[in-house]
Each structure stands twice: as structure tokens, then as C-alpha cells.
A and B are shown apart, each in its own frame.
Chain A
Amino acid sequence: MKKGHYGQYGGQYIAETLMTPLRELEAAYNEAKADPAFQAEFQEILRDYVGRESPLTYARRLSEHLGGARIVLKREDLNHTGAHKVNNTIGQALLARRMGKKRLIAETGAGMHGVATATVAALFGMPCEVYMGATDVARQAPNVARMQMLGATVHPIEEGSATLKDAMNEAIRDWITNCDDTFYVIGTVAGPHPYPTMVRDFQSVIGVEARRQMLEKYGKLPDQAIACVGGGSNAMGLFAGFIDDPGVKLVGVEAGGKGIATGEHAASICGGRVGVLHGSKTYLLQTDSGQILDTYSVSAGLDYPGVGPEHAYLADTGRAEYVPINDDEAIAAFDALCRFEGIIPALESSHALAEAIKRAPTLPKEAILLVNLSGRGDKDMDNVMEWKKRRI
């Protein structure tokens, strides 16, 4: 495979100004990766600050209700800041500090990555600016307040569709202009090489832990590992632990919105075609003439018209399977986890859970479906209430 590519996907389709910064980043990352002191500090912060490891929780009442396979949850929602995003921002902030960068910038959709970046910026004493689509600023107000509380500046982006892709455009523009002293903390396994690989590596703690915990607790690996996919960082993190276990089926769940057929969704693999955006060749939602489409999902964190290039590759090779889950299925799964298990999941994670709920009854009791519960749902309260009001 060509360097920085997954099959035909990935690469460095980006402005020339950023090519030298990307080379420096790649060199610094490879050096850090091989440095035991860097790894030790990363692990220490994950343990003492994030609260890792995150437990596996058997969703007993839900599983018994469904009457099939056992559903086991990897509890990334219990991390400090409430989602898996912080695993990656700690890794990148450590790298930024090591490279002598003075300022962190980030894009955010649902706001979880923005909060996770603002958090590590405070932890390391670095200024932080977060780009966020104006639409998302409005629908994720609690996270905007959290970022501001943590000392970050939030820039609402009114352009284009005013969502995650436009926030990422503006973050890239900032980086082109300020690449000397600025570190761009990308929140998902997208962007130009080395980001997709680096973010996967930082998130692989999810899958590596889960694999060991499965063996300790159940004496076997899960039959299926299921995670939601927007850009796809929590899924890549989970999959990384099982990629070499051919017996473990990997399932990525995309946001089907109002249904693939309606065109109102955010399912890049299930409903898109190959193109180039934000530095990578991958599956994209686009018009016939190559313009990037606005996406739709009830969940802001999955509302992105592309997908990490490694997911595109895993889809083509068949190692992972990608399926859509619609808004109403995700909301039903959200409700189910609240009522049966006393856990309020993020709407993003509810997509993965919905797929497990579909599959469990068709499988024997011995089977285990491992679901990455990538975040908690506190941020989604207003959204879910609104959604329910509209449906009555």
C-alpha cells in the first residue's frame, strides 16, 4: 500500500502550504509513538485523569427482554468529559506540546470533540479555539457553554450548511494561515495522512481494553463488535482491538436519518460514492457534479458527509460491514437503554445500540454483541424532547 493510504483511500489531498507541517507532524508522531516516556505519560493521564479503564457492562434486562444474544456495552460514556473523544485529544495535545506548538484549534459537530479539546487545552495551559457550525451551536448549546467555561473561544460558522464540514473548512483555513505555532486537533479518523492513522492509534485503547476485558470476563471474544460511524473514530478505536480476529464480525452503523431513499441522511458508505474532501479520498455524499451535500441526522455527531478512509477500505474488503440506522430507530434504542438499564446514551451511540437491538433476537443466547457506548446523552436532552414533541 502507498504510504498514508488504505487501498485507494486516504492520502494527502490538501493545500501545499500544509504539506511541510504534515511531514513534521508525521515525523514527530512516529518518534513519540516509539518513545516509552510519551506512551507512559499518555497511559498515566488516561488512567488518572480520564478514569480509564472504562468498564464493560452487561445489559442484562435489555438482553433478556430481546431474548437472544447478550448485549455488552463498552462504557466510553463514563470517561471524563463523557465520551471517547478525550482519548484522542490527550494524545494530540501531548504531541502538540512535544512539538512546541503554542495554540490548539479544533472543529466540532456535536461539541464533544470541542469539549474534549478545550479540556486538554486547560489541562496543558494552552489557548484553544474551536470552530463549530452555527446550526450545531444552536442545537448543542450546553456543549458551547462547557467549552467557554473551560476557557476556549468558540467560533460559530455561518457558511455553507453551517455544520461540521463547514467548521472543518474554517479550521483548515486557520491552520493554513497559522501553521507555524498552531496544532490542529482533528477529532476523527479523517483528514490528511497521518491523522486517520494517528487518531485510530490514540483511540485503539478502546478496542485493546475491550478485547482483554472480554477474555477476562467471558473467556471469549465477542461475536460482533458494533459501533456508530460518523467520521468513525470510536468505531476505528473499537475495531482496532479485533481487526486481527477474523471470528469477530465488525459492524459500523451510519446515520440513516429519515431513510437512505429520502436523501436526508449522513450515511457516506451506504449512500455515497468515492471522492476527495478534507485531505482524504473516501466515500462522500455529493451531487452528480461533485459538490458536497448537506447531511441530515438527528444526531449532530454523525452529521458529516465523509467517513474515515480506513472505514472505506474495510467496507470494500468486506472486513467490516456498514449499515444505516434511521432517526426513529436510534431514538427507540435511546429510550430502551434509559428504561431497561438506567443509562442515558448519546444519540450517536444509540445508532450502534439500535443495530444490536435488531440483531440480538436473531442470535442464540451464547452470542455476545459488544456495543461501543461512545458517549453519554446529557447533551441530547433538549434534542430528544423536541423530537418527541414533534412526533406526537
Chain B
Amino acid sequence: MNRIQKCFEKTRAAGRPAFIAYLTMGYPNLAASEEAADTLLANGADILELGVPFSDPVADGAVIRTAAYAALEQGVTLADILALAGRLRAKHPDAPLVVFSYYNVIYSYGLEKFAADAEAAGVDAVLSVDLPLEERDELLEVLRPHGLTFVPLIAPTTSIERTIEAAKGLEDSFLYVITVKGITGARAELPPELKERLATIRAAVNMPIAAGFGISTKEQVKVIGEVADGFIVGSALVKMLAKDGKIHPEELSF
């Protein structure tokens, strides 16, 4: 069993959804990201997504875009982020670490070198927002020999047949179910049909499912927790960092 599987086994046994935290690495700077990640993992976050900044973040809302541009201003690279992952791994031996990136940054790094370096850093999985089912094999072929898995994204437009297809062969990972048609960023209200959609997806696949995009409140998490194995919070955390560069655990209400 890999760290992701063990993690969901643990949260399921505890009867709660896994809290998956997303941070744009290098925002407001690399040291602050490392401290924020550390704080989150020590204060209730079960899985960490290490967001890799990209110059053209087409799937992101204003909060994460602003953070990505600020990180790039400082010259943060994927190599820096893998090194940071390695340091987090040393301190948090059991926490699943997911590299969350647009594909070009990984492709440019060199696929084989990326897989080898990610493995050495103790990364567990990769998520690429622009690598759908049709294109992902190229990356999967290099990740697998290095013991890494891949997190598939499921959108509100994805049919259940396609969802099953996307889950195939990745049962050692989790499904990232996008809650809304749209880009990342907190929303006051999630779609009313979300709960039923999550329940349908969960019944159709043989792996944990986690809901992401737009989630920031305790109420939202409560609803999602009834029908999903995990929830992802990103923009709300990045917004917290925008204030004073720190994560304040007492302000996390999930």
C-alpha cells in the first residue's frame, strides 16, 4: 500500500474526509511556502499538493494566478519545488505529497529526469491540469517505473463512462472531482446537484474521491464529507498567505 492509500484508510477509519491542502510553491517565497506546508501538515492537513507556478495558468482563478506570477518573479523552478518536497518528506514521513502542475513545466524538465527526481524527493503522485485521459500515457509510462501514481481530474462535464475510464489503472491514487464548471477560487455556493454527483461517482469507481474548486467553508466541507473521501482547499489558503505570509491553524475551520 502506498502513502495515499494508507492515508485514506486512516481518514476513513476515523470517519472523516481527508483534508487536502494546495499551496502555490514559492508564494510569497520558497521559505514561507515550506513553513506553511509544515504548519498545515502538523495541523490537520492529510495530503499536500505542491502547486508549480506557470506563466499561463488557464485553469486558475485570480488568487492562484497572482500567487503564481509572484513566485515566477522570484525565479522559482520545478527543481526548487522538488528540493522542497524532499525536505518536507524528511519531516513528514507519512504525508502524501502531490506535485500539481501544468504539463509544460514537467515536459520541459524532461519526463524521465522528472520522474527520477520526484521519486528521490519522496513525491507520491502527479496531477497535471492539462493532461486528460487522451494524453496522459506519455507521462504515466515514466511515472510508474519510479513508483509514482497520477491523480485524474473529473469535471462536471465528464460522463460516468469516461470517469470509469479515467479511474482505470489508477486505483492506488484518488480521483479529483472538480465541483464546478469553471476555474479555481472560493465560491459562496456550490452547485445543488454536487452531492448527488459525488455519490454517483463514488459508487462507480474503486478508489477514493476528493472534491476540489470553490471549497472554503466548514459548511461546504460537512456536505462534501458525507459523500466524498476528501476535500481540497487551495485558493482560501493562498489568500491567507497573501495577508502575512503565514498559515494560521486557528483560522482553519474544517
Contact = CB atoms under 8 A, between A and B. Distances in A.
A75 to B, nearest CB: 36
Interface string B38-61: 000000000000000011111100
Interface stretch (A37-45, A176-184, A312-320, A321-329): A176-184
B158 A16 contact: yes
Contacts of B55: 160, 291-292
A304 to B, nearest CB: 12
B59 A20 contact: no
Contact of B107 (A4, A172, A276): A276
Interface stretch (A7-15, A63-71, A243-251, A359-367): A7-15
Given A276-B104, A290-B104, A291-B54, A15 B135 contact: no
Interface in A268-302: 274-279, 284, 286, 288-292
Contacts of B102: 276
Contacts of A274: 107
A183 B54 CA distance: 26
Contacts of B157: 16-21, 179
A169 B78 CA distance: 22
B109 A290 contact: yes
A16 B183 contact: no
Interface stretch (B124-132, B193-201, B222-230, B236-244): B124-132
Contacts of A16: 132, 153-155, 157-158, 178
B155 A17 contact: yes
Nearest to B65: A159
Q: Secondary structure at chain B's binding surface: helix, strand, loop or mixed?
A: loop
Contacts of A4: 134
Given A275-B107, A290-B104, A17 B58 contact: no
Nearest to B54: A291
Kindly name the residue among B72, B132, B183 whose own CB sees the greatest number of chain A CB atoms within 10 A: B132
A177 B104 contact: no
B104 A19 contact: no
Contacts of A18: 157
Contact of A278 (B58, B109, B129, B158): B58
B140 to A, nearest CB: 15
B134 A19 contact: yes
B105 interface: yes
Contacts of A21: 157
A169 to B, nearest CB: 5
B124 to A, nearest CB: 21
Interface string A349-385: 0000000000000000000000000000000000000
A169 B58 contact: yes
A291 B107 contact: no
A160 B157 CA distance: 29
Interface string B146-163: 000000011111110010
Contact of B181 (A14, A166, A180): A180
Kindly name the residue among B78, B104, B105, B182 whose own CB sees the greatest number of chain A CB atoms within 10 A: B104
Nearest to A292: B55
B105 A160 contact: no
Contact of A160 (B56, B132, B162): B56
Contact of B57 (A169, A178, A290): A169
Interface in B92-109: 102-109
How large, as a class, is the contact surface on chain B?
35 or more
Contacts of B72: 291
B132 A14 contact: yes
B69 A160 contact: yes
A176 B59 contact: yes
A72 B54 CA distance: 44
Contact of B135 (A12, A173, A291, A292): A12
B220 interface: no
Given A172-B58, A276-B130, A17 B104 contact: no
A211 interface: no
A278 B154 CA distance: 19
A165 interface: yes
A352 B78 CA distance: 39
Interface in A163-192: 165-166, 169, 172-173, 176-180
Contacts of B108: 275, 286, 288-290
Kindly name the residue among A20, A288, A289 whose own CB sees the greatest number of chain B CB atoms within 10 A: A289
A276 to B, nearest CB: 5
Interface string B107-121: 111000000000000
A17 B134 CA distance: 13
Contact of B183 (A159, A166, A177, A276): A177
Contact of B129 (A15, A165, A291): A15
Given A159-B65, A160-B56, 7 more contacts: A11-B135, A13-B131, A15-B59, A17-B181, A19-B158, A159-B69, A290-B104
Interface of B: 54-59, 65, 69, 72, 77-79, 102-109, 129-135, 153-159, 162, 178, 181-183
24 contacts: A14-B132, A15-B155, A16-B154, A16-B178, A17-B181, A19-B132, A21-B157, A159-B65, A166-B56, A173-B183, A177-B181, A177-B183, A180-B181, A275-B104, A276-B107, A278-B56, A286-B104, A289-B77, A289-B79, A289-B109, A290-B78, A291-B54, A291-B55, A292-B104
Interface of A: 4, 11-21, 159-160, 165-166, 169, 172-173, 176-180, 274-279, 284, 286, 288-292
Top 10 A-B residue pairs of the complex, sorted by shortest distance between their CB atoms: A290-B108, A17-B155, A20-B157, A290-B105, A177-B182, A16-B155, A291-B55, A289-B77, A16-B153, A172-B58
